[in-house]
Structure 1
Amino acid sequence: MSAPPASPPEQPVTERPVSTATVPPRRHRRWIGWVVIVLLVIGAALLLMRISASMSVPFRGGGDPEGTGDHGMLALTEILRDQGVEVEVVRSRADAVAAIEDDTTLAMTDPYALSDEAVQDLLEPANRVVLLSASTRMLELLELGETTSASTSAAVTASCDLPELAGVGEIHPGRLFIPADGIIGCYPDADGNAALLVDDSPGTYRAMIDGTRLFGNSYLAEDGNAALGLALLGQTGHVVWYVPSFADGDIEQQAEPSLGDLTPDWVTPAIVMLILAGIAAALWRGRRFGPLVAETLPVTVRASETMHGRARLTAKAADAGHAAEAIRDGSVRRLARRLSLHERANAGEVADAVADRLRIPRTAVQELLAGALPASDDDLIDHARRLSDLESAVDDAVRAERGTR
């Protein structure tokens, strides 16, 4: 078998100019970011409007006769109305005083925002007053008794001579009190502390009970809580339920200085100027650049350097299959060119043409040009030798055919 033909002289390979430009986006795409920003601003504005609208709804907290929460007393209010009692909810002491009549029960929780004088003015026209929360100040002001830290988890009964409590069953009281002299103490524990204090003097009825736990919406159905609420508030046909608040208070409170009060006058204008300067700088330096320009990179790489570099990478990776594929691909392209096949002829077509030209079985040529790749270095050397022999045989056959013409 003759020696393989000499390789053609190496030619310098010049890489194509590499473009650093990208396809410029369409003009309408430039506005997508601004559209997204506008939508976010609109969404944030709608969210703030919804939050401000929800904050404008008056809060109905614990002890409120219109409160629907666990500690609100709307359920007790509706029960009273079902029993024919007129319940009038007022939120200012002026309206409360104006609504009180001879046959009126004044109900309220601790008037924390009223001074002692304002509380006296509020209670003076009412013959019957029921306080539905514990307050040390109200205990002293009405001379009903004292507070105590004692508590009980056991159910207690009225154990007093008030006729309206005769049909009320057991309750689990909240806070307990020590009755003052002459004050009726109902629902007592073993030590004499009472859950309900009543001053039933002639022409005056003053009662106090910690009703936040007994008369809340979530607890009204327990034990005799509902019956006790009716017994205290349903003795008259008219109930004026006063709801205290800071807006209706007469106690002046000294507001703590805000951050604006503590800072110098020049701070706010300086902050505004810095914000405006930042916006101006963003508009000045944040403008869009023009399209990228393609540049020709004058880099020339010799074919031998590329070949040797790829060979070193393949040898370092110990990838015999990849090396064999590169060798076989070169052999297929050279065989196709020598057999006058088109440039895109695949390995199967080249194998068929080689088998016809050399008069050898197609299976052997197909296995060599399109079969499995070698997996070891020894197989790679043998595979390369067989490809070289096949190319030499085809060259000899092509020369012999040309010599006979």
Structure 2
Amino acid sequence: MTSTAPAPPAAEPPAAEATPTSLAPTGRRLVRRARWYLVVLAVLLVAAVGIAVLNRGHRYAPIDPRSYDADGAHAVVALLEHQGIRTGLSTDPAAAANGADTLVLPEPDLLSPAQLRAIAAARHQRLVLIAPGPVALNALAPGIRPSDEDGGVPFAPVQSTHPDCVLDEAVRAGSASMGGMLYTSGTRGDGCYSRRHAYPLVSTPSGGGDVIVLGSAQFLRNDELAKDGNAALALGLLGSQPRLTWHLPDYTAPVLEGTQRKSFGDYLPKGWHWACYQLAVAAVLAALWRARRLGPVVSENLPVVVRAAETTEGRARLYRRAKARGRAAEALRHATAHRLAPALGVPLQAGAPEPEALCAAVADRLPERPAGDVRALLYGPPPTDDAALLRLADDLDALERQVRNP
């Protein structure tokens, strides 16, 4: 009777080594996290392109007689033509001045000195200057100056103002929306719509006609023409002669030297600084409100007790992944110095032992180790590779054992 020997137990397959799981975000994970931000950005780009395509039509500058927009001036030109006034547009101010009874010059500061001299020498019944600077005033309206040159305020907000002057056109129109740059009337001029002892409208004789200086042309806008006496004032100033030429400024031309340049604050609405103060107060109140809602710090027990060895290993893996050998070496040396100081009777200063005192104490305890070698071990340069870091850990452990058991 043959007995069958039991088969040897099958060898268990070797356990697969646990592969470390990387916590660093991958490209796919980053894209997945940011997909909604990318969708919103794409929608905004498509909307911006669509708006740009829809609004790519020609846009005119403010107070342009060809513009039907709210800030254009086509309505006043249409009213003048309805009353029989012949109107025209020109890009050459010198040629326009020779063939016009009334010449309107928006932005006269964009004209060159030669152009200003040609306009001053031309024969016209009325010249209307809109917001001129000192250089244009000296050439076309001598005697009239910006009010800030005499210590006055340079600007005034546009609002309904009574004329309070003897100019026929202003008296017939009554109150109008006037403001903007302010001027002095000089000895021969008449100022209207007084604002702080200066005027946004000044009339002065010049040759065989007169010059009208306007601090702002807002009353000529399409959306302002029906308010107060704006339409009557516009028709009176621009329709006194049978022919009117409106100069179209070249906004690419440089500004004349000596002309007052507007700063960024000039374009901000009045009282903007009070709005900034209110926003600052609101931010402080919001911070106080959130601080009250957070309440005091509440201490809670850890849900799981983690062994110190696991914490040490986890921190070591982080150091290794970041290749922070210097930081790891600093932690090892700091811990060794803190353990050696009480054993050698070296006091702690600011939470750490004095390096010179600690090295001297170790050298006294271990005569075979010079103080320089101890200092190089405890406070030397960081290791350059992992092998040097391991040697440093072994040397620190050996030094601590020798100090405790000399």
TM tier, smaller: 0.3 to 0.5
Higher RCO, Cα 8 Å, sep 6+ = 1
Which of structures 1 and 2 has the bigger CA Rg? 1
What TM-score do you get using the length of structure 2 for normalisation?
0.44
